[in-house]
A and B are shown apart, each in its own frame.
Chain A
């Protein structure tokens, strides 16, 4: 094989990725067009109606955008008290030890569990607990979904944060210790300021994951098409309304679901882009 042919083959293989991405955007936009044209782009995003009465179909994405943001942000809040300690454990306190590698194996395995199994566990184990504790009357809802989502994103945040904590230069820390600083002070005054932007970016990327998580949320959020009025309420996320209704939808409803898919795609793409840019900058510093 000569060099020219080799280069062409590699180039063609690499071309597939932009073609697929372009195809994704093209297909979503063309098939969502009907819904946007019928309801108006802004109106579609801000309408809270989701009604299929023949002749008076009303589809709006607001309940699902709200549901998605609520579950993702709440999951983020729940995951911080666990992911940060894991990151410090692996990246600072027990860095390079056997215990640390066991813990990171545990979190890696946690990341490997399929989302449908998280959903089952949430439904059959966590949900009865929440009902028994009177935290949520019907057990399902935004709160239940985000608790399980939080567990699902801990591994991603923890391993990425640990990476940045490990990158904090040793001489900085040693300098502080020699001035009599305690470990807690070193973490607060040296590690967090230096690794902070990296840690923050790992949370941004975690939101990106939580936004699009489908099966877990579908099984736990309660699947009602209203804007959740509290964290105990039931609702639907963008991904879960698609999972619930895509198979049976046609015409305008199908187009509306695809439009929701497009919005979800754009939001996750934006969040991921911001996260990656922040990571790049954090790595340079």
Chain B
């Protein structure tokens, strides 16, 4: 029995230890980053290394912020969501309706494959597909990369949510004289909305922090830009830039704090919605 107790305590201890990195990361980013968050931080673009250097030499805080990154992230994410959500839902619906079909099983397998593909490879692919033909880095290329990464996540969540809907729901709809399309649009998808929406939130939170695929596609830019055919920045790209430049390193924690809070908030919202929807 003593051995049993020991094992219980050991397991509790080791399990509790896994919370340490989360708290350590949150704590560090919070403590080093909170004082940088200001109005200017969200409304001004990144300063040049020269300006930052001058400010450091003068002992002043670095001017500017990460507005160029926030705008870029929003533009690319927006474009990716517009394409990935309908595509993912339709594909998920196909898989749920034809689960016995050979082709559907093949698609399902490939969805897993795509989901497991390292993001850096999605970056290479988008570079070959979009950047090379367009002869330049662009927001479009960045959003294509994000889109390719979102689709499999949305397909999976749609398929799984539709599959666990009670079969009687669909049958009742069909019995009332609706055709399959109407039942899907009017009955099944609305009933599955919670699960699908949660899936979309999680997909967004997964890709919003992606850096590697954007390095070869969106490239980065120090201006606040709204055009989609030019290089554009993103918050994770800025963090990477700050990491590589000691002059700008002061800004790294504010940018990370912003990104981290955003991602964690999305995650918690998704989890909360999933719970509510399950009840």
Q: Determine direct contact between A and B, CB below 8 Å.
A: yes
- The answer to whether the Cβ of B54 comes within 8 Å of any Cβ in the partner chain is no
Chain B residues with CB below 8 A from A257, complex form: 124
Known: A115-B209, A183-B7, A243-B212. A13 touches B87 (CB 8 A): yes
Known: A109-B264, A112-B267, A123-B243. A21 touches B211 (CB 8 A): no
Contact B18 A247 (CB under 8 A): no
Contact A105 B271 (CB under 8 A): yes
Which of B18, B87, B106, B236 contacts A154 (CB under 8 A)?
B18
- The answer to whether the Cβ of B164 comes within 8 Å of any Cβ in the partner chain is no
Which of B22-30, B38-46, B190-198, B221-229 participates in binding chain A?
A: B22-30
Chain A residues with CB below 8 A from B264, complex form: 109, 112-113
Chain B residues with CB below 8 A from A40, complex form: none
Which residue of chain A lies nearest to B259 when distances are taken between CB atoms in the complex? A114
Contact A261 B24 (CB under 8 A): no
Known: A13-B91, A23-B129, A212-B121. A113 touches B25 (CB 8 A): yes
Contact B22 A247 (CB under 8 A): no
Chain B residues with CB below 8 A from A158, complex form: 18
Which of A17, A81, A218 contacts B110 (CB under 8 A)?
A17
- Contact string against B for A residues 85-112, beta-carbon threshold 8 Å, 1 for contact and 0 otherwise: 1101110010000000001011111101
Which residue of chain B lies nearest to A32 when distances are taken between CB atoms in the complex? B124
User: What is the predominant secondary structure among interface residues of chain B facing chain A?
Assistant: helix
- Contact string against B for A residues 7-40, beta-carbon threshold 8 Å, 1 for contact and 0 otherwise: 1011101101110110110011001000000000
- Contact string against A for B residues 204-225, beta-carbon threshold 8 Å, 1 for contact and 0 otherwise: 0110111110011001000000
Ordered by A's residue number, 29 sampled pairs between the chains whose C-beta atoms are within 8 Å are: A1-B182, A9-B90, A10-B94, A13-B87, A14-B95, A17-B151, A17-B155, A20-B148, A23-B129, A24-B125, A27-B125, A82-B14, A82-B17, A105-B268, A114-B259, A116-B209, A117-B209, A120-B252, A121-B25, A121-B29, A183-B4, A184-B4, A209-B116, A212-B116, A212-B119, A242-B120, A246-B123, A247-B216, A261-B124
- Identify the 7 closest CB pairs spanning chains A and B, nearest first: A114-B209, A212-B118, A13-B90, A6-B181, A85-B14, A10-B94, A272-B116
* Residues of B bordering A, CB below 8 Å: 1, 3-4, 7-8, 10-15, 17-19, 21-22, 24-25, 28-29, 86-87, 90-91, 93-95, 97, 103-104, 106-107, 109-114, 116-121, 123-125, 127-129, 148, 151-152, 155, 179-182, 184-185, 205-206, 208-212, 215-216, 219, 236, 239-240, 243, 252, 256, 259-260, 263-264, 266-268, 271
Given contacts A182-B4, A264-B118, 16 further A-B contacts (CB under 8 A): A1-B185, A13-B94, A16-B151, A17-B155, A27-B129, A28-B125, A31-B128, A85-B11, A107-B18, A108-B267, A110-B18, A112-B205, A112-B266, A114-B236, A116-B256, A208-B116
* Residues of A bordering B, CB below 8 Å: 1-3, 5-7, 9-11, 13-14, 16-18, 20-21, 23-24, 27-28, 31, 81-83, 85-86, 88-90, 93, 103, 105-110, 112-121, 123-125, 151, 154, 158, 182-184, 187, 208-209, 211-215, 218-219, 239, 242-243, 246-247, 257-258, 261, 264-265, 268-269, 272-273, 276
